[in-house]
């Protein structure tokens, strides 16, 4: 097995759950992105709107102000591919214009269906994620009959939609949306049965880094984030189950841990 691709998180926001406000300043965000790339991130995922539970929406204008300069400067470095984390076509369009090559849409093109045509027209790669409801409501008593089969059906449908809109299938990866409208048990089941999602035939992205479920699994029922050690344990488990891309905050530590895990695979 090859070591997975590492996607480093660059949140240009005041309110993200794990690092809100730390990189809202464009210069700080760029330096953070450069550090993650130097530590081994092959992709930098830049977002200007928090998707934490209960987060308030951000206008497209504000989102563009936050991310465009950061995207442009990091893309110019050429050290990593740039992903724009947005649900808005106008934001994705602006980011693609200044060097992004991946659109990471947590709504899987549901909130702005014209996003699919943009991705197809520009020949960009994309990530389609499952989310129950929206960030404001997703953690209010999420329920499934079978979380894995329901997430698979959703991703299968969104994959088909994107292809119908002209996106090349080989440019699409899928994300089960760990923590996006799921309980701790749902998240565990999705990772445990990742082979069901891999059967869709597309690379799978896992973003378990620092999620509160990890803190709860580690023994703190009131946890709002997960520790680095718990994040690494989840990343190794995801890698061993076939995940292709791991979206993480702490790149160097994940790169080292996954290199060791790969040596024993």
73, 152, 210, 247: the active-site residue = 247
CA distances from 186 to 144, 160, 180 (A): 9, 24, 10
Integer Cα distance of 150 and 29 in angstroms? 36
pLDDT at 193: 98
Candidates 182, 193, 211, 216; catalytic one: 211
- Domain range holding 36? 5-263
Confidence bin at 136 (pLDDT 50/70/90): low
pLDDT at 19: 47
Distance CA(157)–CA(85), nearest Å, equals 21
Catalytic: 182?
A: no
pLDDT tens-place string over residues 114-133: 999 999 999 999 999 999 87
Q: Enter the DSSP assignment of 2.
A: P
Bridge-based pairing of strands 81-85 and 43-47 is parallel
Mean pLDDT (the chain) is 93
pLDDT tens for each residue of 19-60: 455 667 899 999 999 999 999 999 999 999 988 776 778 899
pTM flag (> 0.85): yes
Which residue has 């209010």 as its token pair? 140
Q: Is the pLDDT of residue 77 over 70?
A: yes
Q: With contact defined as beta carbons under 8 Å apart, do 39 and 251 qualify? A: yes
- Identify the top-confidence range among 15-29, 217-231, 232-246: 232-246
Task: Quote the pLDDT of residue 66.
Answer: 95
Q: At how many degrees (to 10) do helices 251-263 and 26-39 cross?
A: 20
Quote the number of domains for the chain: 1
Distance CA 134, CA 136 (A): 5
Which CATH number belongs to the domain containing residue 100 in this structure?
3.20.20.20
Res 72 pLDDT > 60: yes
Q: Which residue has the higher pLDDT, 138 or 57?
A: 57
Q: What is the pLDDT of residues 153-206, one digit of tens each?
A: 999 999 999 999 999 999 999 999 999 999 999 999 999 999 999 999 999 999
* Distance in angstroms (rounded) separating the CA atoms of residues 209 and 226: 7
Residue 115 DSSP SS3: helix
End-to-end Cα, the chain, rounded Å:
6
Question: Has 247 been annotated as catalytic?
Answer: yes
């Amino acid at each position: 097995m090859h070591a997975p691709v590492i996607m480093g998180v660059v949140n240009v926001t005041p309110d993200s759950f794990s690092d809100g406000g730390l990189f809202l300043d464009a210069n700080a965000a760029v330096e953070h992105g450069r550090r993650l790339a130097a530590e081994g991130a092959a992709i930098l995922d830049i977002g200007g709107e928090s998707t934490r539970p209960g987060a308030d929406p951000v206008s497209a204008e504000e989102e563009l102000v936050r991310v465009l300069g950061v995207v442009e400067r990091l893309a110019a470095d050429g050290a990593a591919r740039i992903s724009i984390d947005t649900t808005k076509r106008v934001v994705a369009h602006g980011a693609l214009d200044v060097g992004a090559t991946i659109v990471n849409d947590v709504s899987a093109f549901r909130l702005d269906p014209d996003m699919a045509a943009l991705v197809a027209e520009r020949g960009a790669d994309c990530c389609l994620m499952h989310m129950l409801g929206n960030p404001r409501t997703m953690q209010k008593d999420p329920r499934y009959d079978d979380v894995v089969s329901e997430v698979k059906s959703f991703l299968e449908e969104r994959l088909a939609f994107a292809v119908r809109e002209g996106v090349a299938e080989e440019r699409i990866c899928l994300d089960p949306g760990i923590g996006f409208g799921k309980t701790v048990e749902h998240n565990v089941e999705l990772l445990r049965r990742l082979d069901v999602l891999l059967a869709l035939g597309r690379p799978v992205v896992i973003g378990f880094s620092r999620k509160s479920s990890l803190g709860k699994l580690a023994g703190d029922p009131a946890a709002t984030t997960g520790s680095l050690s718990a994040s690494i344990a989840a990343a190794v488990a995801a890698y061993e189950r076939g995940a292709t891309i791991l979206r993480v905050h702490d790149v160097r530590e994940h790169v080292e841990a996954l290199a060791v895990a790969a040596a024993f695979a």
